Structure 1
Amino acid sequence: MPGGRLTHEDRRQIAIWLAEGLGYAEIARRLGRPTSTISREVARNSAPGGYLADRAQQAAGQRARRRRALQAAERPAEPVHGFVERLAILLAGTGLPRMPARVFVCLLASGSGSLTSAELVRRLQVSPASVSKAIGYLEAMELVRRAQDSGRRERYVIDDDVWLHAFRADTGAHAEVAAAARHGIEIFGTGSPVAARLGEMARFFTWISERMNDSGPTGAVVRDALTVLAALVHAARPLTVDDLATALDWPVQRAADAVDTIGRRPALSDPLAVERCGRGAYAVTPRPDRLSSAQRDGLSVVTGKLWSE
């Protein structure tokens, strides 16, 4: 049919019209094909005896069989193909777009962890443009990198530590969310319901950030943070970083680092919280999420009775 592959009858007509002296453009017009299709057909299948339809048909059949064999060899076995598609669907459920997910899993399931664009096109049965767009997305997430092979072709590679790269790329964003939530607590006030929700949010994103970054505080840093916490509890009043440094006989930077550690890792001071209360001073208060409003009111009543006795 016009636009499809040349048939045996098409090739017979080409041979007849060439013998009659027709040009490529006229033959293409009569067959409803592009002129380039006719010129390639004749150039590919001409021999000293000229263009012969039967020989051209036989050569086309051999090329088709080689092409099918190559595609079958490059396309993953059915269990592997099913695994690639299933895992891609699951990754898409986590927020990764479907095509980048398919490309990523296809690379993941390849023996070398790398494929060329042409190999990805054949294995996934998609267009080169789809592969290119998916690779761009995966590169931005640091899940894939480009490399040159010995044939000077560009390959897309998944490194063995790909997940570490990906998670660390997100660590900064999680830490920023935690910091913003803690700032919100200062704005809304520690006793408000909003502050309680923001406190939970800050602790959650801090927990994620620390574990993804694998950079929790060292033993010495933890000891300094707990020492500052004990100092604030003992003083029972707000203290500045300079006050803490003087009282503890530390350099000012050491005291500042300890306070900063508590602020970035609130779990260290649980069930207490260290809050900035003005003029650069810090004070210890109960964590807002440890006591409900009713419990705080009940404690106020009890404390008032004790003081009145």
Structure 2
Amino acid sequence: MAGGRLSLEDRQSIAAGIAEGIAYAEIARRIGRPTSTVSREVARNGHRDYTADRAQRATRRRGLDRDSAPRTDTLADRTDAFVDELASLIAATGMPRMASRVFATLITSSNSTLTAAELVRGLGVSPASVSKAIGYLEGMELVERRPEPGSRRERYWVGDDVWTRAMRADSSGHARVADAAQRGLALFGADTPAGIRLARMGRFFGDLTEQLRGIDLADSAIDDTLTVIAALGHARRPVTVHRLASALGWPASRLDHAIRHLQQRPTLADPFSVCESVAGYELQPRPDRLSREQGDALRTPALQTTEG
């Protein structure tokens, strides 16, 4: 049954497919499972020495071990599931499935770069599949390569500016990817390499609506404007121009340019607005996002007491 645990019949089909030399993707299609499920099953239970009976017994033993120990949803299980979901959502925007899996793996890797061999082992696929996927991603300018010092091998990575050159797809697909990126950010942590890359990813896809209206994400003014919004949100109080420029380490002219850009395109701060007073600049919720009744309800003492 798709979505549940593998049955003995499923494992027998996997073993038969391996014996025939069939690719994991085709085996997965035959049993109605994701390719990653098959690759993890084989990697966990013997690789090319995989047999259905042995895999079934090993799974039962692991189940007994889990039953006798405190039940935990391991980080490895959750991250594997997230990478699979992220790859599926990226594929839905038009990218080939294998390229999506390689891209999702690079984005969520704890290392900044991965070799082709590391991708092959991690995904449980052939070197040819990884090579073809890398070629596609390089052609789309989504992945870059660099030589490994002291070795003939090359390492692949997702550059910081990749999102200004990323593919365009339908807006609903981008919205789902942005949502997944935000959930991944919470899973991996904002201060981890994966979290940092996922934050950039979420920001890119979240900004696509504005891009479709003619905003050039490659314009450095956009990035500066978003930085100002983040700084005001972090401050949580009015900040003078001098203090804001000092905190950001910017010259006054750069800050002035970013603020003018924000005034010209206030939707960049949505669902907030940047307000100016004698005390400085401040980030405030847009009043049109909530009805008067909703705003009053959130400010009532009864709600605060209930939550406390």
TM-score (normalizing by structure 2): 0.32
Q: Which has the higher contact order (CA 8 A, sep 6+)?
A: 2
Which protein has the larger Cα radius of gyration, Structure 1 or Structure 2?
A: 1
